Chain A
């Protein structure tokens, strides 16, 4: 029982950055922009979260810094894809490379050396708090409600994103922008604006996810510390059928595989090199995407450039 609770509790924590970024991906893709830049946005978020937390000593300000810089950096993707009409994949790839280079540059600039930053004194993980009553539910209580604040934020953003997409005016506009942008434009709503909002939303949440990696899951920033989680989040969104709840379920699946491989490594029952276990979450991604994607339908106009002149 202890083992199961630990495993599932770790699942929720490890699913958190993926779920957060996947919520961003859901909104961004539904608005019509493919965002493979999420990996880089997370990395930027992770760096600034650590930097601000180190400078101020406050993990909350660190989180705010990560979110803001993730959002700012995402505007670069919005600008290049929406305003400059650059191919989404190309822009995303460039931003990922830029993020890796920039964070290294800032490491040297701020701390005098590449690699890892100093440890932050206090992390978000240290603020772990059990929700009264709810955490007393057998099994589910400790798994879901004895977590750090970031995990609760993640729950909130799953519900919020689902509500945003399905019940609000903005959500309807976002869905229309990704399916048939001209339909929206002919009703006098700017597709460009909606797509900027979609990308920005993903940037803010990637910043959040990056902050989680640097100052909740870890205690410092390391170059390349996102380790492909931005891409896994993208895969979670695709496997989840471009919906918030679906993406959340897929993120939990990836979190579970990740938690499982860590447990298996620690237990050391099998005489298998640890690299094999490291591989599991990525292998699961490939299998999940290959198995599930064919059954779900992407937003019809996602990845396509939009300009009024071309459409008429």
Chain B
């Protein structure tokens, strides 16, 4: 890529106003032929809005888009597609029960008089996948494909529409380390064939690994533009957040107790489709220790967490807390013994969204003194307690009577942390605590988890983010197909090695 290469896409002073927020303010970016740029920003910085403007889903309030120097106006994605724009959305826009071919041709089907020529369609898909070396079986159903291949179908979909500019929205969010490497190869190959690529991301590592240039977006504005070769991770993080951030929380040495306080022995769980999802799993956690469960999504993480909390029936095995079996107790009884839980899905399982912050932080203790007397809730103690928690856990909100649905993801997670951590549990189960959160919030949540470790809680951390596991865990267990396949000491391994076990290799 040289500076002289033609500019294929340019935005001039793009602004997008929604009824309550100014999501994009005077955005100017350029993209050259065969260039890979990143658009880096925290959640809510306006990245996706900008991309949806470029893809014709939103119309900009003011400003213009230029393609190959020519001013264009998109009134629907169809216009954008016709002008050579392609987009791979973070949540795939694939129809699960349809075949790969049907998904790729959708909306541009070959055939005459409204009847689809499936033979021609299949051949075109095959040719396309050969030409770009993106192997795929045109006849398999999308729902049967692993996530990495589903993403490949999305890329093929854009190429089928002759995309010359490809926008990838958080493309690595759901991929394993191996799949990420494959994706990067594909992106490089596309670049070499003259396609320009925009990657939207909030992962700093990714920006440096793949792109030539990066725009940093903060609160709807461009906070900076850098060549990735001349900047460091810390530079980018600071630009993105607008203050100095600590990228990896410093983990002090902390001596764990000798004897485990939480143990699982030969746990087996069979789900309602009669599949064995947890297979003879044993583990133990000591007070003052963080044990990290690494694994690719769908290898039993949810079921393990639900079995520990008594939300899923186990077939056999023992769960011991302080030496006593708890597997036959109700969820409530387990919590009463001193087990706390931060669930994966904070909006569905962790919070009651239409409830206020105050109501959410007493959830689970609402029938205990001082929060209730007889049948009535006691407003005053509840208010005092929640005010204290909101302050202690730095929840940014207008008041404790605000609905949690109005809070940002990071603040919602802080509300859950406040509720669960303030009970001072002896065992803490934390599942994907920073999913979808940005650097600032991750930093805070990690430091809180480490604080619980200092207070000698036994902590089991389930996470899909290897980086998170490495920065927090004292021991790493790899979960694959419902089994612990390997144990690592984080100081004696690396993400490549762990990643290999996560995908079943060894």
Contacts and interface: CB of A to CB of B under 8 A. Distances in A.
Contacts of A308: 57
Given A172-B109, A179-B96, A188-B77, A312 B114 contact: no
Interface in B387-427: none
A212 to B, nearest CB: 28
Contacts of B106: 172-173, 176, 183-184, 187, 189
Nearest to A170: B114
A176 B98 contact: yes
A175 interface: yes
Interface string A99-125: 000000000000000000000000000
A263 interface: no
Contact of B94 (A169, A183, A190): A183
Interface of A: 167-170, 172-173, 175-176, 179-180, 182-190, 297, 300, 308, 312
B32 interface: no
Given A180-B94, A185-B57, 7 more contacts: A169-B115, A169-B116, A173-B106, A173-B107, A186-B55, A186-B57, A189-B78
Contact of B109 (A169, A179, A183): A169
28 contacts: A169-B109, A169-B114, A172-B98, A172-B105, A172-B106, A172-B116, A173-B107, A175-B95, A175-B97, A175-B98, A176-B95, A176-B106, A179-B95, A179-B96, A179-B97, A183-B106, A184-B107, A186-B57, A186-B77, A186-B89, A186-B93, A188-B56, A188-B76, A188-B79, A188-B81, A188-B107, A300-B96, A312-B58
Nearest to B76: A188
B77 A180 contact: no
A300 B89 CA distance: 19
Contacts of A180: 93-96
B472 interface: no
Contact of B78 (A172, A179, A188): A188
B325 interface: no
B96 to A, nearest CB: 7
A40 to B, nearest CB: 31
Contacts of B78: 187-189
A277 to B, nearest CB: 39
A167 B117 CA distance: 8
A312 B93 CA distance: 12
Contacts of A185: 57, 77
Contacts of A312: 48, 52, 57-58
Contacts, number: 78
B359 interface: no
Contact of A168 (B58, B103, B115): B115
B163 to A, nearest CB: 12
Most chain A CB within a 10 A radius of its CB, from B94, B96, B105, B116:
B116
Contacts of B97: 175, 179, 297, 300
A182 B96 CA distance: 13
Nearest to B108: A187
Contacts of B298: none
A195 to B, nearest CB: 15
B87 interface: yes
B48 A189 contact: no
A168 B52 CA distance: 30
Interface string B470-491: 0000000000000000000000
A300 B94 CA distance: 12
A185 B109 CA distance: 15
B198 to A, nearest CB: 16
Contacts of B80: 188
Contacts of B55: 186
B303 interface: no
Closest 7 CB pairs of A and B: A188-B78, A187-B107, A183-B93, A188-B77, A179-B95, A180-B95, A169-B109
Interface string B54-76: 01111000000000000000001
B111 interface: yes
Contacts of B81: 187-188
B118 to A, nearest CB: 8
Interface in B205-252: none
A172 B93 contact: no
B102 interface: yes
A183 B87 contact: no
Contacts of B118: 167
Contacts of A172: 98, 102, 105-106, 109, 116
A55 to B, nearest CB: 36
Contacts of A297: 97
B94 A167 contact: no
A187 B107 CA distance: 6
A268 B80 CA distance: 70
A176 B99 CA distance: 11
Interface string B91-133: 0011111100011011111010011101000000000000000
A181 to B, nearest CB: 10
B116 A167 contact: yes
